[in-house]
Chain A
Amino acid sequence: MTAHPYMPNSTPDLERALLDAVGAPDVESLFSQIPAAHRLKGELELPPALVSEAALRRHMVDMLARNADCERNLSFLGGGIWQHHVPAICDEVVRRSEFLTPVWGTPSSDHGRNQAWFEFTSQLAELIGMDFVGLPVYSWGCAAGHAVRMAARLTGRSHVLVPDTISPERLAVIRTYCGAAELPGQIEIEFIGHDAVTGGVDVGDLERRLSARTAAVLFDNPSFLGGIEQRAVQLAALARSHGAETIVGVDPLSLGILAPPCDYGADIVVGSTQPLGVHMSCGGGAGGFIATRDDPRYAREYPTLLLSISETVAGEHGFGMALFEQTSYGSREEGNDWTGNSVYLWAVANAVYLSLMGPEGFAEVGRLIIARSHYAARRLAEIDGVRVVFPEGFFKEFVVDFGGSGKRVAEVNSGLRDRGIFGGKDLSNDFPEFGQSALYCVTEVHTQADLDRLASAVAEVVA
């Protein structure tokens, strides 16, 4: 039998040598713990093995060729995963086997990886203006879910207010994290209305709904619909005046041009790490973070691993885990929620990205995105039957209403796809109040020529 390339001990001679050393007659005898009745009935039914890498590669490449991607097509999809430029060295660094494959190590032996993680938390801290940052969690929605649970523990309350414009995808995750009515500890979600002109949170409605039961007010900035929250200071102040925590979700890539959440009173900041040097990968680029002030009150509620800078016996910088006992690894069900594998490799990509960007990179990309997104919105708004629902005050995403054209979003997107364009995310099911609307996302990867092409194609399709 041919030895398998992934298995160095798969030669008959080595099997015999190992069996002889063990003193076992055959491999089967080593499975004597498993009762015969438990053993597999029949063979595994799997597709045939493709041991030849050449054959396997051919099979995979042929299969993947049936995808149409956002590089060969022009895409305006966003809404939680966004097409941003990924600098080449982000890929070069995360594909290094030292970073790709390690499991855990010691503070000394995996020091370089730990330092990269600390450079992620430290640089993110500068961007968002918070000085306590956990190691990453699975996604923005998961970060928001944990943050809501932190707020409930902090306040002893069980009610959270969220805008009715929240991302349906993230809301579904938060709902799961908030528990079930039949079991203890459920956190109730209540919606706050939005301002019909700006799309922002309706401050009056928030004020009416805040109460002594409110654990937290959660809002995103920019919002799921793209708008920059203009009354963030008031929202946070209102929450505080009712003893509630303010949880703000941010797109970190917006923070070269937009005020950081610490400036308007956020207590817990969450968000996505995907815009910081991670490919979309069909949603596989998702990652999230949780950050607060460096205050033990908050620190002791984190579910995440917390990497702290420290010092070696020789006075060098080193890194170790802080507050490990409060995690599920340290205290099982007594810990804060749970922790486990997350998206730590992407934290390395994030660190590289943040190092490349510097203050001016963030400012520049912020200026570029906001200019191009507004240009796209204005070009689209010029088309008969097409309306931009909130025409001012957004960052990279905006809502486009095709209702006036008599076309459904699905029809528009189908027509665009025929022209090599992926139109915006269809909102008509999740937000019926906006009619036949779609969420368009424009980033630094879109040139003016791309945006002009979009406008021409939309004009053709809705005509």
Chain B
Amino acid sequence: MKLRRYHAAVWDEPLVLEMGAPGRRGVVFGEAEPDIVSVVGDSEALVPDGMLRAAPPVLPELSEPEVLRHYLHLSQETLGMMGVSLFGTCTMKYNPRLATELAERPEIAELHPDQADETLQGVLELVHGLDLILRGVSGMDAFVFQPGGGAHAAYTHAVIARAYHAARGELGERDEVVTTIQAHPCNSATAAAAGFKIVTLPLEENGYPSLAALEAAVSERTASLMVGNPDDMGIYNPEIDKWVEIVHDAGGLCFYDHANFNGVMGKIKARELGFDACMYMLHKTFGAPKGGGGPAVGAYGCTEELARFLPEPVVVRDGDRYRLDRDRPDSVGKVREFWGNVPQLVYAYTWSRAMGAEGIRQAAEISVLANNYMEKRLLAIRGVTKSHPHLTAPRLEMTRYSLEAVERDTGITVFDVQNRMVDFGIDAFWLSHEPWLVPQPFTPEAGEMWSKEDIDEWIDVLAHVVDEAYADPEVVRTAPHNQAIRRLGATDLNDPAQWATTWRAHIRKQRTGAGIADPA
């Protein structure tokens, strides 16, 4: 194996706030036309007394080419997906650049959401078409795209559960949401933010909570179940249909967090398993880009019974016309302004149409096959183990591993390994959501976009870094060495005297030597 001689661009790029020269301009608008000035007079006189800005903002003064080159330098100091990124639980995907081009066209970029329906027929058709595609893969009856991410879709479910039980006059008594310790933290966090108490089930021997534990947790107080399946360890709960029955029998709703959909696309449908609602991350599974954290879409789908509670507006088809239905008296209202991150819907529609049913099914198969291939090679590396090793059935699209033995033998942690792998152009792997159930965890996911050569390269780099951990741990402990900057030092970013989320706070704290004392 021959590893790449990668080195990141190092620009020592100053902060933009330190750049520029007085009087330079990056954009010029000009002044109002003389006729306008003659009608309205001086602009500043149009501002009510006391509301005129007294001192200009202390912003850098730069020309256009300087700004462009500055941000190009910063882009080059961003590894992201330029190398191989097998970031588990996030399904790193190919984002069709056809969609980038389409979303930039004025027919998308220059639309206003309050335009008359008759001027929005193209985008409404696209949204409706995507709704139908997601109904096809889930079996649900309606999808909305207003939630701005997966967590926001989980929140949407919690809000719909509120409305559903309130409509039945039971909300006061139904104040609990049941989830599992392996469910993404957003499920419990959003349900709590919506006002529910959280009941979290621990894992048992088979890698998921037992039916007995669920039965003990579910009661007439249960508003909803919120779970994912398979989980982040690649373990599928084969009793999930029985879970749904138990929760339904108690009068609760069942929400399927389909963040980990990639391995089961075209294999199962949330509705056929009995779920009332589900969520897909269009920025993960359906080809929209990650953008470092959005704009994203948590597509929320549900049954006809819950559809009346969906956030409005909902896109509906009337014959060969499309319209935004805003007259929905039982709707929960809104979780975000307008009707969704439309450019991301363009990606998801483009990706889904390029793939088709056969491509989507094949992508799931390739993802699972690639993960099992990885598992074979990764477990051959010294010190790499997997969670629940006694479970021998093949994992789905990801497996949770541990470097506990490496850490014990060498003191090298998963953070050190992340920092060393980036020296070879490999994006940091995902560890695990809180709490860590497996010590020193890491969770790669190959998906369908990475070639066998990419996957082999990733594994070769990890194997090399583990070898280094045993042979020359210092090189790993002090990594990265080939990156835009070295690793962060010992600054305590939880200390009010040291944190600074803005340049002006940083300058002040440097000048005074300390921030405001923390009364806590």
Contact = CB atoms under 8 A, between A and B. Distances in A.
B26 A370 contact: no
B502 A122 contact: yes
B171 A183 contact: yes
Interface in B71-106: 71-82, 85, 87, 90, 92, 94-96, 98, 100, 102-106
Contacts of A83: 110, 112
A118 B502 CA distance: 7
Contact of A33 (B133, B341, B393): B393
Contacts of A408: none
A307 to B, nearest CB: 6
Nearest to A72: B106
B211 to A, nearest CB: 14
A142 B148 contact: yes
Given A70-B106, A341-B148, 7 more contacts: A93-B72, A111-B78, A118-B501, A295-B516, A341-B151, A343-B295, A344-B291
Contacts of A366: 43, 53
Contacts of B122: 63-67
A322 B336 contact: no
Contacts of A338: 151, 155, 185-186, 189-190, 193
Nearest to B396: A33
9 contacts: A4-B355, A31-B396, A49-B355, A64-B108, A64-B122, A97-B82, A109-B428, A113-B78, A335-B185
Give the contact-size bracket for chain B: 35 or more
A207 interface: no
B368 A70 contact: no
Contacts of B92: 103
Contacts of B519: 296-297
A332 B50 contact: no
A439 to B, nearest CB: 9
A257 B47 contact: yes
Nearest to B82: A98
B185 A332 contact: yes
A212 interface: no
B50 A259 contact: yes
Interface stretch (B194-202, B246-254, B460-468): B194-202
Given A338-B193, A351-B71, A122 B504 contact: yes
Interface string B446-473: 0011111010000000000000000000
Given A132-B505, A259-B51, A340-B151, A33 B78 contact: no
Contact of A378 (B8, B40, B48, B121): B40
Given A39-B268, A67-B107, A123-B17, A109 B357 contact: no
B227 interface: no
Interface in B1-50: 8, 12-13, 15-17, 20, 24-33, 35-37, 39-40, 43-44, 46-50
B489 interface: yes
A172 B311 CA distance: 10
Nearest to A93: B71
Contact of B449 (A6, A67, A321): A6
A9 B452 contact: yes
Contact of B394 (A29, A57, A256): A29
B115 A364 contact: no
B241 A37 contact: yes
A70 B110 contact: yes
Interface stretch (B212-220, B299-307, B369-377, B401-409): B369-377
A24 B394 contact: yes
A124 to B, nearest CB: 8
A371 B98 CA distance: 40
A89 to B, nearest CB: 5
Interface in B347-399: 349-363, 365-366, 368-370, 372-373, 376-377, 393-396
Contact of B487 (A31, A177, A313, A360): A313
A197 interface: no
Nearest to A64: B107
A258 B189 contact: no
A368 interface: yes
A95 B104 contact: yes
A113 B77 CA distance: 7
Nearest to A30: B394
A349 to B, nearest CB: 10
A70 B119 CA distance: 10
User: Which of A81, A98, A117, A184 has the most chain B CB atoms closer than 10 A to its own CB?
Assistant: A98
User: Which of B39, B114, B428, B449 has the most chain A CB atoms closer than 10 A to its own CB?
Assistant: B114
Task: Sort A-B residue pairs by CB-CB distance and give the 9 closest, nearest first.
Answer: A49-B356, A283-B338, A102-B80, A112-B77, A183-B195, A340-B151, A345-B291, A356-B26, A328-B189
Given A99-B78, A318-B488, A367-B44, A64 B126 contact: yes
